[in-house]
């Protein structure tokens, strides 16, 4: 079926949605009048209220769509003199595709290229065209591959895909807004949701057909080889970028540290991990498919490309970054404009790796030192106290205190890792070495001459009383002063924690209620408002309001390591009593009308507290 026919069906379905709404309002209105006439009373009043709600919801939703304005474009606008090669390429390709060139090209910090059009009249009239090109794509692709991608995107312009896309997008917005206004769980909401599923299915089918059509431009203009290689490499470069951001860029985020040259680092990673990336390219492209996807599977698109005639276009294997006048300067400007680093200290990669790992190591060893202080009855923990407890056979108890969740083997491995971090910090404080940055492997602790210090080997020796003497001898041999690293934080924080779930409206003694977020290392208690309505929505709003670590500084944070024992007094709805090492007691009880982020969150809470449970008094009512 041709795209135009599918798109026409999509538009008809969109019009049908409004006809359905009008018919529903008309039917409800007729039923209301009849009921008022024949059986006046409460039932007629409720039906009249529903009719008004549906009508108001439709009017409000449609008004929001009509008055919606395009947001501020993302990224960094490129003047023609800053990217003459890219502008010329865009104009050349637009001429070959047979469409108007973009009015603006913007650089973005993503592995992506896209086109957008600020259309008018619900997408029926054209407007300003914007092309977005990801800087990581320019760093990783050849000119030929980038031409393939840009030809694909301009192909969307040629087929008026962007106009149809805007219409479909605004249509979906109208449907969603209407469902929200009338209430998803209402009778009208159910009718609209059922219709919306049909509309989205057709819309996504149109979108998938558009991708195949745009791929034809890609092959015809850039050549089959470039088009197929670009399609294969997109997923590989995207994986590399996500790995880079997670492993390198954000390594010091919690410590307010960031790299001075983000995109320069990505270029180095692409070079350092070239062997791994080559293996990813050689693997088969993903074939997962769903009727809800807006894009066809990569494997299907490659198969379709390989079946197209090859125009025999000459391949340009120059790095795509040559299309920019000054890539390094533009990278710095994009970093300042588009990355959230304003409040962070910028460091070169070598310094960042060392400082970030040291900050994270200190946070981890503080957990170890606080546990050692509790076990040893000391006001403050340090590495010397940890070694003393281990020498007396306390490895298992210390492992449980540091990581109560997990098997004994997992607890032992985490204990070894914490000791390794403590030894590294002590050696670093004595000027014996630092954590060395690497683009090809994980960071290692090394001496100034580059030789590694076997901190992990020493850590394993230290966990057993029979090998403690050897561990001490090795520490002395390397000149590590165990007194050089001490506990810096007296209390646990939520730094580095992730959100697992949340339960709204949990009652506590004193007629207080809290919205409780379940974190990987504790519970975050946010005082709830007087009204207990919309608990799930409120939990989501709390998470969007600030980072988890900041929320924990603003509200009460109960770290798991501070819990001495727990009692599960009731399972459904869940009710727990926590006794802290300080002697304080906290009792939380879920209400029958409580809401959660996920239906399994009460089970998550029970599982998180399970290592501390001494008494379970299960009561069901």
pTM of the complete model: 0.79
Cα-based torsion angle of the residue sequence 190, 191, 193, 196 in order, rounded to the nearest 10 degrees: 180
Q: What is the DSSP string of 51-71?
A: HHHHHHHHHHHHHHHHH--PP
Give the full edge-to-edge strand order of the sheet including 104-108. Answer: 76-77, 104-108, 125-134, 113-120
C-alpha pair distances (Å), 403 with each of 43, 103, 115, 317, 383: 59, 56, 49, 52, 18
Give the model's pLDDT for residue 332: 95
| CA atoms of 397 and 414, how far apart (whole Å) | 13
Give the model's pLDDT for residue 620: 41
Of residues 433, 484, 483, 431, the one with CA closest to residue 455 = 433
Give the model's pLDDT for residue 314: 86
User: For the chain, how big is the Rg over CA atoms in Å?
Assistant: 30
pLDDT, averaged per 10 consecutive residues of the chain (621 residues), comes to: 54 70 77 78 74 72 64 87 96 90 94 77 64 96 96 78 54 64 65 75 76 89 94 92 94 92 96 90 70 76 92 91 96 90 91 96 94 92 94 94 90 96 95 94 89 92 96 93 90 89 87 88 89 82 90 93 91 91 91 84 90 64 39
Longest dimension (CA), the chain: 98
| CA atoms of 152 and 213, how far apart (whole Å) | 8
Q: How is domain 499-616 classified at the CATH fold level? A: PH-domain like (2.30.29)
560, with CB counted inside 10 A (0-12, 13-18, 19+), is: buried
| CA atoms of 455 and 416, how far apart (whole Å) | 10
The residue count of the chain comes to: 621
Are 437 and 349 in contact by the 8 Å Cβ rule? The answer is: yes
Give the model's pLDDT for residue 429: 93
Beta-strand relationship, 512-519 and 104-108: unpaired
What residues have CB less than 8 Å from 222, skipping those under 6 apart? 144, 145, 147, 148, 151, 230, 313
Q: What angle separates helix 274-282 from helix 224-244, to the nearest 10 degrees?
A: 130
Give the model's pLDDT for residue 118: 66
């Amino acid at each position: 079926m041709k795209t135009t026919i599918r798109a026409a069906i999509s538009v008809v379905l969109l019009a049908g949605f409004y006809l359905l709404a009008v018919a529903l309002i008309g039917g409800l209105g007729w039923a209301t009048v009849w009921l008022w006439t024949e059986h006046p009373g409460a039932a007629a009043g409720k039906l009249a209220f529903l009719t008004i709600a549906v009508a108001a919801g439709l009017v409000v939703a449609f008004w929001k769509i009509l008055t919606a304005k395009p947001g501020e474009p993302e990224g960094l606008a490129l003047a023609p003199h800053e990217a003459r090669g890219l502008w010329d390429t865009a104009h050349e390709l637009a001429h070959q595709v047979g469409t108007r060139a973009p009015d603006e090209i913007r650089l973005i910090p993503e592995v992506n290229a896209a086109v957008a059009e600020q259309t008018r009249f619900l997408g029926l009239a054209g407007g300003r065209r914007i092309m977005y090109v990801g800087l990581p794509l320019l760093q990783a692709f050849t000119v030929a591959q980038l031409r393939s991608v840009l030809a694909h995107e301009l192909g969307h312009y040629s087929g008026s895909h962007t106009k149809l896309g805007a219409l479909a997008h605004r249509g979906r917005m109208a449907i969603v807004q209407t469902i929200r206004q009338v209430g998803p769980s209402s009778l009208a909401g159910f009718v609209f949701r059922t219709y919306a599923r049909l509309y989205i299915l057709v819309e996504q089918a149109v979108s998938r057909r558009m991708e195949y059509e745009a791929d034809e431009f890609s092959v015809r203009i850039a050549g089959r080889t470039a088009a197929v290689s670009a399609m294969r490499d997109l997923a590989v470069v995207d994986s590399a970028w996500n790995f880079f951001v997670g492993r390198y860029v954000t390594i010091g985020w919690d410590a307010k540290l960031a790299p001075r040259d983000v995109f320069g680092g990505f270029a180095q990673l692409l070079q350092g991990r070239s062997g791994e990336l080559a293996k990813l390219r050689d693997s088969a492209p993903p074939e997962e498919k769903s009727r809800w996807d807006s894009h066809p599977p990569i494997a299907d698109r490659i198969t379709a490309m390989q079946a197209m005639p090859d125009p025999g276009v000459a391949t340009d294997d120059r790095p795509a970054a040559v299309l920019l006048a000054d890539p390094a300067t533009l990278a710095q400007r994009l970093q300042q404009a588009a990355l959230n680093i304003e409040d962070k200290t910028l460091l070169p990669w070598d310094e960042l790796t060392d400082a970030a790992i040291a900050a994270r190591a200190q946070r981890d060893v503080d957990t170890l030192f606080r546990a050692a202080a509790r076990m040893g009855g000391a006001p403050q923990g340090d590495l010397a106290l940890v070694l003393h407890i281990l020498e007396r056979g306390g490895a298992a108890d210390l492992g449980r205190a540091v990581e109560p969740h997990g098997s004994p083997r997992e607890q032992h491995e985490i204990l070894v890792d914490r000791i390794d971090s403590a030894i590294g910090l002590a050696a670093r404080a004595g000027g014996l070495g630092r954590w060395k940055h690497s683009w090809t492997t994980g960071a290692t602790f090394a001496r100034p001459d580059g030789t590694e210090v076997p901190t992990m080997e020493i850590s394993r020796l230290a966990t057993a009383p029979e090998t403690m003497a050897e561990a001490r001898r090795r520490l002395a041999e390397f000149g590590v002063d165990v007194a050089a690293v001490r506990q810096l934080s007296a209390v646990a924080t939520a730094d580095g924690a992730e959100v697992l779930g949340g339960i709204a409206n949990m009652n506590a003694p004193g007629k207080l209620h809290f919205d409780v977020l379940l974190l990987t290392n504790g519970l975050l208690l946010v005082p709830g408002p007087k009204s207990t309505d919309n608990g799930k929505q409120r939990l989501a709003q709390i998470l969007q309001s600030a980072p988890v670590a900041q929320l924990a500084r603003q509200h009460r944070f109960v770290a798991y390591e501070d819990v001495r024992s727990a009692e599960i007094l009731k399972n459904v709805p869940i009710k727990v009593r926590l006794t802290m090492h300080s002697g304080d007691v906290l009792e939380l009880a879920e209400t029958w009308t409580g809401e959660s982020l996920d239906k399994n969150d009460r089970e998550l809470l029970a599982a998180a507290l399970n290592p501390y449970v001494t008494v379970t008094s299960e009561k069901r009512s």
